[in-house]
């Protein structure tokens, strides 16, 4: 028996997707809990759910009652579309944000000549970023805890800072102050405990102290709620955003180059330098 065609998707208020229960279910890909939550907030029957997400009612019943798990990416996508998940919820689930059309074009790069490429996530840009880091003379990083960038041996940039005896690049790193009130706010946004987030920041700082033994490393603590994730490698910027429900590396990543009159590259450089001036240097 084939799947029923999907009808009009179900829709929850945006604030419902911010509830800790649904965010925990999305993070664990527990689709039975997700469907039960949607039923509770919409009053939808299993039949209505099945028509929204393109499944049979018996299959929906099995998922809701824990007798069947969802493992296939296309099924996660179908459920996300059928439930009208906002981008923050999709990204917690591990899916890409939906591309919203603007005048028939998802993103008009010609309107912003500084943005030479848009990557779906930081992972999609990783090979290019690592290649550039191997020869760069200067690196700036604005992050929250930085473990995935510099704090672990397998992180994005750390393995590529070893120049086989050559002078390492000058490295400036801005990390969120683990003692600031912003830690609890940010931790709540991503469904993590404040203690865990603060511990991750301190671990990254400890690992950066090891890099500092070779010189050229500056590490600062800022105290404001994080908004932008920035990697500057020489003259090129890679920029993503922090928001409720996803980490910065999960955001779309924009590659920016300097142009004669473009405001973005200059603005992000100015932002980074201003944050350095207003932060506390710890290394």
Q: How far apart are CA 270 and CA 267, in angstroms?
A: 5
Q: How far apart are CA 133 and CA 187, in angstroms?
A: 29
Tokens read off for 75:
């099924």
CATH T-level fold of 109-281? Endonuclease; Chain A (3.30.870)
- Work out the mean pLDDT of the chain and round it to a whole number: 85
Ordered by start, the domain boundaries in the chain are 14-93, 109-281
2.60.40.1530, 3.20.20.70, 1.10.1740.10, 1.10.260.40: which CATH number matches 14-93? 1.10.260.40
Which stretches within the chain are classed as H helix? 20-27, 31-42, 46-53, 57-64, 73-82, 87-93, 122-133, 182-189, 194-212, 263-277
Q: Is the pLDDT of residue 218 over 90?
A: yes
Query: Can 14-93 and 109-281 be said to share one CATH topology?
Result: no
Per DSSP, the residues of 149-183 read IIISTTSSSGGG---TTSPPPEEEEEEE-TTSTHH
* Residue 100 confidence (pLDDT): 45
Chain segment 59-118, per-residue pLDDT in tens: 999 999 999 999 888 888 889 888 988 888 888 888 877 754 333 334 555 556 888 888
Q: How far apart are CA 212 and CA 101, in angstroms?
A: 45
What angle (nearest 5°) sits at the alpha carbon of residue 171, between those of residues 168 and 173? 150
Burial group, residue 243, by CB count within 10 angstroms (0-12, 13-18, 19+): middle
Indicate the pTM of the whole model: 0.62
**237-261 mean pLDDT:** 85
Beta strand pairing status for 217-222 and 170-176?
parallel
> At residue 107, what are phi and psi to the nearest 5 degrees?
-160, 120
* Residue 250 confidence (pLDDT): 79
What percent of the chain shows pLDDT beyond 90? 42
* Residue 66 confidence (pLDDT): 93
Q: How far apart are CA 33 and CA 25, in angstroms?
A: 6
Q: Is the pLDDT of residue 7 over 80?
A: no
**203-230 mean pLDDT:** 91
* Higher pLDDT, residue 130 or 214: 130
Q: Is the pLDDT of residue 5 over 70?
A: no
Q: Is the pLDDT of residue 205 over 90?
A: yes
Find the range with the poorest average confidence among 1-10, 13-22, 44-53, 91-100. Answer: 1-10
**199-208 mean pLDDT:** 93
Q: How far apart are the first and last CA of the chain?
A: 64
**135-164 mean pLDDT:** 84
Q: Which long-range contacts (CB under 8 A, 24 or more apart) does 154-158 make?
A: 156/122, 156/126, 156/129, 156/130, 157/129, 157/130, 157/133, 157/231, 158/207, 158/211
pLDDT band at 171 (very low <50, low <70, confident <90, very high): very high
pLDDT band at 184 (very low <50, low <70, confident <90, very high): very high
Q: Which long-range contacts (CB under 8 A, 24 or more apart) does 130-134 make?
A: 130/156, 130/157, 130/159, 130/160, 132/233, 132/234, 132/236, 133/157, 133/160, 133/161, 133/169, 133/233, 134/160
Q: Is the pLDDT of residue 138 over 60?
A: yes
* Higher pLDDT, residue 175 or 124: 175
For the chain, what percentages of helix, strand and coil (3-state, to nearest 5) are there?
45, 15, 40
Beta strand pairing status for 138-142 and 170-176?
parallel
């Amino acid at each position: 028996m084939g799947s029923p065609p999907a009808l009009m998707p179900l829709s929850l208020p945006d604030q419902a997707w911010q509830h800790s229960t649904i965010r925990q279910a999305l993070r664990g890909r527990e689709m039975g809990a997700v469907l039960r939550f949607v039923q509770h907030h919409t009053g939808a029957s299993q039949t209505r759910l099945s028509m929204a997400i393109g499944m049979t009612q018996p299959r929906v019943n099995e998922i809701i009652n824990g007798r069947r798990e969802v493992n296939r990416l296309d099924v996660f996508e179908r459920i996300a579309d059928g439930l009208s998940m906002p981008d923050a919820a999709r990204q917690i689930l591990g899916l890409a944000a939906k591309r919203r059309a603007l005048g028939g074009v998802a993103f008009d790069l010609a309107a912003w000549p500084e943005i030479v490429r848009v990557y779906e996530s930081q992972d999609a840009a990783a090979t290019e970023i690592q290649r550039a880091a191997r020869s760069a003379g200067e690196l700036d990083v604005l992050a929250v805890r930085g473990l995935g960038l510099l704090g672990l041996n397998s992180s994005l940039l750390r393995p590529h800072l070893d120049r086989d005896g050559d002078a390492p690049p000058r490295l400036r790193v801005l990390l969120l102050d683990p003692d600031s009130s912003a830690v609890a706010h940010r931790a709540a946004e991503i469904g993590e405990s404040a203690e865990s987030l603060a511990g991750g920041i301190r671990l990254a700082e400890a690992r950066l102290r090891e890099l500092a033994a070779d010189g050229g490393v500056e590490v600062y603590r800022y105290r404001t709620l994080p908004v932008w994730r920035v990697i500057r490698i020489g003259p090129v910027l890679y920029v993503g955003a922090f928001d409720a429900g996803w980490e910065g590396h999960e955001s779309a990543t924009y590659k920016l180059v300097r142009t004669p009159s473009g405001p973005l590259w200059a603005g992000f450089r100015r932002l980074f330098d201003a944050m350095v001036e207003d932060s506390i240097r710890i290394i």
